[in-house]
């Protein structure tokens, strides 16, 4: 079996797992008993996060024996040494937990797979409305809704002065806002869920996703990066460097910048890294 065929087969398995978790999350959301706790300031976790995490880890372990699974709600001891593995999964069982608690609908399940340190496939499933986005380098990118599969691609590049840029709703600071102002974008659009912001780039709904500092963890970027690349775009940190998935440190401390190649290049110049 060719590498591409292996990735296509793996993607099908991951889609099924992500969609099963999304149905579970949707059920809890509709029941209304979220059982919210806080891991830290502005860092909630609910029974949906925990239940989805358990389900995804169980399913991935069965489907891909031996592959480390770096999942947000798992004990870090379970993925010790992941930086030395050839294949690793990065999982955010419920990306956008704050939005889940606010009941905004802006949340998703995210599963990404890396090989030799680079994302090769990703799946982002939104429970409400129920839509799955998937893809990877060499695989293209597509959405699945109501049994229909449709290709997706990034927007044609245009000047930043005409660009729509999606930004974080909840992770903001004076420093971040000052950096975003340098872009000179036509519109800055706050939105929840790191994954869904990147998906807006992959579908061409917006021109750029910019978060110049502290853009979550590697599980917030792995699946989205694979899909954006599959859709013809780029996802790096906000200084233009590829994210390194083979590190013990998992924080995206230098932010995330994603868009079509030319728009991404223009943004780096505006931010002082071009």
What's the rounded mean pLDDT across residues 40-53?
88
> Strand locations in 127-214, DSSP E?
131-136, 140-145, 148-151, 164-168, 187-191, 208-211
Residue 212 has what pLDDT?
A: 94
Spatial contact of 194 and 221, defined as CB atoms under 8 Å apart:
yes
Residue 44 has what pLDDT?
A: 86
Q: What's the pLDDT tens digit per position in 186-236?
A: 999 999 899 999 999 999 999 999 999 999 999 999 999 999 999 999 999
Residue 274 has pLDDT above 90, yes or no: no
DSSP state of 249: -
Window from 35-44, 95-104, 174-183, 235-244 with minimum mean pLDDT: 35-44
In whole angstroms, what is the distance from residue 166 CA to residue 189 CA?
Answer: 5
What's the rounded mean pLDDT across residues 30-43?
81
Q: What's the pLDDT tens digit per position in 63-75?
A: 999 999 999 999 9
Tokens of 236: 């790096």
Which residue did the predictor score with more confidence, 97 or 259? Answer: 259
Residue 170 has what pLDDT?
A: 77
- C-alpha gyration radius of the chain: 17
- Report pTM: 0.96
CB under 8 Å to 177, separation ≥6 — which residues?
none
Confidence of residue 34 (pLDDT cuts 50, 70, 90): confident
- Domain limits, the chain: 3-151, 160-271
In whole angstroms, what is the distance from residue 28 CA to residue 48 CA?
Answer: 6
- CB atoms inside a 10 Å sphere around CB 20: 16
Residue 172 has pLDDT above 80, yes or no: no
Fold exhibited by the domain 160-271: D-Maltodextrin-Binding Protein; domain 2 (3.40.190)
Residue 238 has pLDDT above 90, yes or no: yes
Of 95, 86, 56, the residue nearest 74 (C-alpha): 56
Tokens of 141: 């990118």
Mean pLDDT of the chain: 94
Fold exhibited by the domain 3-151: Fructose-1,6-Bisphosphatase; Chain A, domain 1 (3.30.540)
- CB atoms inside a 10 Å sphere around CB 87: 15
Buried residues in 171-180 as b, exposed as e (16+ CB within 10 A): beeeebeebb
Residue 45's DSSP bridge partners are 37
């Amino acid at each position: 079996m060719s590498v591409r065929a292996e990735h296509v087969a793996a993607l099908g398995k991951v889609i099924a797992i992500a969609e099963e978790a999304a149905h579970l999350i949707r059920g809890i959301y509709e029941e209304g008993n979220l059982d919210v706790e806080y891991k830290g300031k502005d860092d909630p976790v609910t029974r949906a996060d925990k239940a989805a995490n358990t389900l995804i880890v169980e399913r991935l372990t069965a489907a891909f024996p031996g592959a480390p699974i770096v999942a947000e709600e798992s004990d870090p001891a379970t993925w010790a040494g992941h930086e030395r593995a050839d294949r690793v999964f990065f999982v955010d069982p419920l990306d956008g937990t704050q939005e889940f608690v606010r009941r905004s609908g802006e949340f998703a399940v995210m599963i990404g797979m890396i090989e030799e340190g680079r994302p090769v496939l990703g799946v982002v499933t939104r429970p409400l409305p129920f839509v799955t986005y998937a893809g990877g380098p060499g695989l293209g990118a597509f959405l699945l809704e109501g049994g229909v599969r449709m290709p997706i691609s990034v927007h044609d590049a245009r000047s930043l002065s005409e660009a729509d840029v999606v930004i974080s709703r909840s992770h903001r600071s004076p420093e971040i806002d000052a950096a975003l102002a340098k872009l000179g974008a036509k519109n800055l659009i706050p939105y929840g869920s790191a994954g869904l912001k990147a998906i807006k780039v992959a579908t061409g709904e917006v021109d750029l996703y910019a978060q110049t500092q502290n853009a979550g963890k590697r599980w917030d970027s792995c699946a989205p990066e694979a899909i954006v690349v599959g859709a013809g775009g780029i996802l790096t940190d906000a200084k233009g460097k590829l994210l390194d998935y083979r590190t013990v440190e998992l924080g995206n401390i230098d932010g995330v910048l994603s868009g079509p190649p030319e728009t991404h290049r223009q943004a780096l110049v505006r931010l002082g890294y071009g």
